[in-house]
Structure 1
Amino acid sequence: MKQLPFLNDAADRRGADDSSTSAAIPAATPVAADPRRPAIIVPVQVTSPEEIAAQCSAIAETGVVDVIEWRIDPVIASIADEGSRGSDAAESQALAEAILGLAVHLSRTGLPVLITLRTGFEGGAAKVSERDYTEILTTIITGLSGLSGLSGLSGPPVPTTTTTWALDVEIERSQAADLIDTAHNHGISVVASHHNFAGTDSAESLAATFTTMAGSGADVAKIAMMPQTHADVTELLRVTAQADEVVEIPVLGISMGRLGRTSRVMGGDFGSCASFAQLAQSSAPGQIAVTDLAGIFDRLYG
């Protein structure tokens, strides 16, 4: 198992006391002492500034989360529901700027943040065109690197340099390669992703997708499938383990739903570099409560 490339640099200190850290904002969770231990990623899907701030604070306070996944598609869907969104480039720019205006709430946790715009095509809340998808993410990438500081909460601005940003890119988007290049040009790691909420791709297709992701220049290859049988789960795990051996980047294979819980608990033994857990609302079927998953990992990996 290869570790996520955008974890905070603080190995072997999980749960350690750090007297230099403010009690109000807990220290970011370090990389697990055992390199076989997958990282724990928790999604944030709320849309208002107050909800985002509260949920991010609660995630940081658990002391067991390695990465926050910021699902920005619910924010975009919320703006669309308010009737203030069009389809031209100016509206895409406005949507991206609205997202950037909320980024301070993620920065204050000290945890790495994976920004994800999950489209309706892959089970997300945002129904955006190919062009809008590319324009929104491009503006966010350049906006994050261009900000010298963030404001919006009480207290001093939080420089973007204190936050490690990463970006999810759906590998089947027409401009995925350009988005990956743009992110890298701005120092942002990329998780290439592919989801199937209707079933599980064939083993050949899964293997080919992992290979395509690695060849795209992405830093992590993530596949999530919806199993219909236990055999689907075992096949996903088998292909993930095989991909971990043959591709140079970290891989992440997930079987969703109740049937797929084994992949979330034991995925690390099959090469998966992380597992997604939930604190409040889950972002995909079958996610396990974060404290429960962390407790299992403690017993499995120490």
Structure 2
Amino acid sequence: MKIVVPIMPRSLEDVANIDLDRLAAADLIEWRADFLPKEEILTVAPAVFEKFVGREVIFTLRMSREGGHIELTNEEYIHLLKEIASLYQPEFIDFEYYSHKEVFEEMLDFPNLVLSYHNFEETPENYMEIMSELTSLSPAVVKMAVMAQTEQDVLDVMNYTRGFKTLNAEQAYATMSMGHLGKLSRVAGVITGSCWTFASLDEASAPGQIALSAVHKILNILEE
């Protein structure tokens, strides 16, 4: 299981102040560009990708309804994804599938898509249907992040992940239960087959995220 650490710069100065030594244990960096005003994203992008040259980067724009900090039309969303993809070739482009399903076909030429589903309210009853639809589209990674209301929600997400990975060995999955109850799911990839976990430095990008130093220690113990 690889560790992803989100960065959330709000200015060029924030990018310059990122301490790369503190990110040494991260396998991938997720640039959450939605913490910037939309008109500044392409201005700040060169500094971000220069800062992380040689590192694997996931480019993510998360709308407010998905737990993010920006509002974009489908056209603005697609434009920014395509500009970043063509100019900087990040290892992965995150695409929030159900929020922008109408324009998904415009991204079919990109082989490195992370198809995401986020639910900050619950673990939906149709979780398996959602996971199945995203799997059928064969992205680079299927990402499912849902809120855990009960212990059973956490166990269900872990069990569903293991089942889908068993049946679709070539497909990569990154799944997690959010919130305090869901912390166990964030370090259980050795059992479930989840390929990524998201850890935080100073600021969590989602409820229940564990600090990078702690995740690194836990995974070393579980995977040794």
TM-score higher than 0.5: yes
Which residue of 2 is the match for residue 194 of structure 1? 117
Shift of 1:99: 4.4
Instruction: Determine helix, strand or coil for the equivalent of 1:55.
Output: coil
Which residue of 2 is the match for residue 301 of structure 1? 223
In 2, Cα distance between the equivalents of 1:244 and 1:56? Answer: 35
Asked whether 1:214 is paired with 2:128, we answer no
In 2, Cα distance between the equivalents of 1:53 and 1:133? Answer: 26
Taking structure 1 as reference, are residues 58 and 75 closer, same or farther at Cα in structure 2, changes over 3 Å only? farther
Which residue of 2 is the match for residue 137 of structure 1? 81
Aligned with 1:259 (options 181, 189, 200):
181
Taking structure 1 as reference, are residues 277 and 218 closer, same or farther at Cα in structure 2, changes over 3 Å only? same
Is the CA contact 1:250–1:272 (under 8 Å) kept in the aligned structure 2?
Answer: yes
Aligned with 2:93 (options 153, 167, 172):
167
Asked whether 1:117 is paired with 2:61, we answer yes
Asked whether 1:102 is paired with 2:47, we answer yes
Q: Give structure 1 stretches of 5+ with no counterpart.
A: 1-37, 80-93, 146-163
Which residue of 1 is the match for residue 20 of structure 2? 57
Of structures 1 and 2, the larger Rg is shown by 1
> TM-score, normalised to structure 1's length?
0.68
Aligned with 1:242 (options 151, 156, 163):
163
Q: CA RMSD in A?
A: 1.8
Which residue of 2 is the match for residue 270 of structure 1? 192
Percent sequence identity is 29
In 2, Cα distance between the equivalents of 1:293 and 1:234? Answer: 19
In 2, Cα distance between the equivalents of 1:217 and 1:106? Answer: 31
In 2, Cα distance between the equivalents of 1:198 and 1:132? Answer: 26
Instruction: Determine helix, strand or coil for the equivalent of 2:36.
Output: helix
> TM-score, normalised to structure 2's length?
0.91
Is the CA contact 1:96–1:140 (under 8 Å) kept in the aligned structure 2?
Answer: no
Asked whether 1:279 is paired with 2:201, we answer yes
Is the CA contact 2:148–2:179 (under 8 Å) kept in the aligned structure 1?
Answer: yes
Structure 2 counterpart of 1:198, one-letter code:
E
Structure 1 counterpart of 2:119, one-letter code:
N
Shift of 1:290: 0.5
Shift of 1:276: 0.5
Q: Give the alignment of 1:67-82 within 5 angstroms.
A: 67-76=28-37
Shift of 1:56: 5.3
In 1, Cα distance between the equivalents of 2:9 and 2:220? Answer: 29
Shift of 1:209: 1.9
Instruction: Determine helix, strand or coil for the equivalent of 1:182.
Output: coil
Taking structure 1 as reference, are residues 104 and 250 closer, same or farther at Cα in structure 2, changes over 3 Å only? closer
Instruction: Determine helix, strand or coil for the equivalent of 2:4.
Output: strand
Is the CA contact 1:226–1:255 (under 8 Å) kept in the aligned structure 2?
Answer: yes
State the 4+ residue runs in structure 1 displaced beyond 4 angstroms.
none
Is the CA contact 1:72–1:99 (under 8 Å) kept in the aligned structure 2?
Answer: no
Shift of 1:252: 1.4
Q: Give structure 2 stretches of 5+ with no counterpart.
A: none
Q: Which structure features the higher share of strand residues? A: 2
